[in-house]
Structure 1
C-alpha cells in the first residue's frame, strides 16, 4: 500500500519537538505529497497551543515553507479537543474557517468547557477505571460527546477513537459515515487501534492512516497503521490517503 499523505503531525508550537519546516522536510524525505501541521488545541493542559491565535503564526510559517518546498502540499490543521458533553471544541469558529483540515477527539488532560463536562469527561472517566458500574455510562457519554461534535462542526477526522476513553466505535462510525468524517488509524498507538477499526469497518465509514508524529523523525511513519489495515483486509478505497491497492 502506498500512502501519499500524513495528516496528523505536531511541532514545537504544542507537544512536538521540531519546527514546521522540520516536519515538511521529513515528509518530503518520506516521499509524501501532502502533510498537515496539526498541533494540539489550547485546551490540552501544558501541551496545547497557547491560544487559537497561534494558528496565525503557524499559517505564516506554512506559507513560507510552501514557497520554499512547492513539491509538497502543506495543510494548516489542528487537533482540536472535545471539551464538553455537548460536543464543543476548543477552536473558535473564525479559526475553523481558516483551516485546511480539522482533526478532533477526546483527551484526558483537558480544560473542560463547564463544570458538568469536567465532572463527566474527566473525573467520571477516571473513576470508571476503578468502578465497573460507571463503565457503561461513560461509554455512552463519551460516544455522545464525539457524535455531537461531528454533527456540529466540519470535522474531517476523528483522531484515535477509543484511546484511553471508552466509546462505541460502531455507533460513532455510522454517524461519521453519514457526515463524511473519517476515522483515524493511528500508527503511534499501533495495535491499540485494531479493535476499534474492526468494529468500525462493519459500517461504510472511511479511514485515514496517520502518524501522530511528535518529532520530525516520526512524520510519515505509517507502517503500524498499514499493518492494521492489511490484517483486517480493509478495502483501499476506504482509506483516504492511499493511492494504490494492496
Structure 2
C-alpha cells in the first residue's frame, strides 16, 4: 500500500514542535513522501499562531522540492454548539481542516455532549475533512455515531500514530481499534497520520498499520495513497489547481 501522504504535521509555528515547515518539506523529499499536509494548531491552543498565519498560507507554493503541500489547520472545537477557533476569513486559503478536542480549549464533558460537539462542528464547517485523534480516552464519545456521520459527510477518521504507539493520549490504542472496526462495518474512510511535532516522525505510521493489520482492515478505505487522496479532495471541489 502506498502510504506516502501525511496530513497531520506541525512545525515550530505551533509553539511546541521543533522543526520548520521547510525542514519538514525537505525531510519528506528525502524520504519519498509525496504529500505533506501542514496543520498547525488553531489560535486557542496555547502557543498557537494568530489567525493571520492561516490567512496568509496563500504565499506558500503548492509544490516545494517535489513535495505537494496541502494547507491545513488542526482546529479546536470550542463548545457543544460545534464552534471552532478559526474565523472563516482566515480559513479561505485552506485545503482542509482537522477537527480535534484539546483539554486546554474544551474541557471533557459527557459522552452525549462531546459527541454532539463533534457532530455540530462537522455540520457547521465544510472544510473539516478529518476527525482528529478520536481515541483520546479523556473524551467519551459515541464512536458509532461519529463513524456513521463521517461516512455520510464523506470525510475521514484519523488513525493517529502518536496516540496509538507514541507518547500522546495514553490509552488510545484500544479505542482506536474499536473505531477502526466500526469504520470497517460502515465503510468509512480513514487516514493514517503521524501527528509529527518534529520532522523525523513524518510518515511514521508503524503503530497504526500494526493495529489495522491485526483486524484485516481493508486497504480501499485507507486514504494515504497520494492519487486516491487528491482524487477524493477534488471530488469535493478542492485542490482544483492540481
TM score, norm. by length of structure 1: 0.82
Corresponding position of 2:75: 80
Segments of structure 1 that go 5 or more residues without pairing to the other structure are 111-120, 126-137
Structure 2 counterpart of 1:168, from 127, 142, 154: 142
Q: Residue 233 and residue 88 in structure 1: after superposition, are their counterparts in 2 closer, same or farther (change >3 A)?
A: same
Measured after TM superposition, the shift of residue 175 of structure 1 is: 0.8
Name the CA distance, whole Å, in 2 between partners of 1:232 and 1:96.
37
Q: Deviations over 1:174-205 (max 9, x none)?
A: 01111111000001111352232223332121
Q: Which has the larger radius of gyration?
A: 1
Q: Residue 237 and residue 172 in structure 1: after superposition, are their counterparts in 2 closer, same or farther (change >3 A)?
A: same
Task: Please state whether the residue corresponding to 1:17 is helix, strand or coil.
Answer: coil
Please provide the CA RMSD for this pair.
1.8
Measured after TM superposition, the shift of residue 214 of structure 1 is: 0.4
Name the CA distance, whole Å, in 2 between partners of 1:217 and 1:108.
26
Corresponding position of 2:54: 55
Corresponding position of 1:143: 115
Task: Please state whether the residue corresponding to 1:220 is helix, strand or coil.
Answer: coil
Name the CA distance, whole Å, in 2 between partners of 1:99 and 1:91.
11
TM score, norm. by length of structure 2: 0.83
- State how many pairs are aligned: 215
Aligned pairs for 1:10-159 (under 5 A) are: 10-14=10-14, 15-44=16-45, 46-49=46-49, 51-60=50-59, 62-63=60-61, 66=62, 68-69=64-65, 71-110=66-105, 121-122=106-107, 125=109, 138-154=110-126, 155-159=128-132
Q: Deviations over 1:30-77 (max 9, x none)?
A: 211100110111111x2322x2101245553x32xx5641x2101111
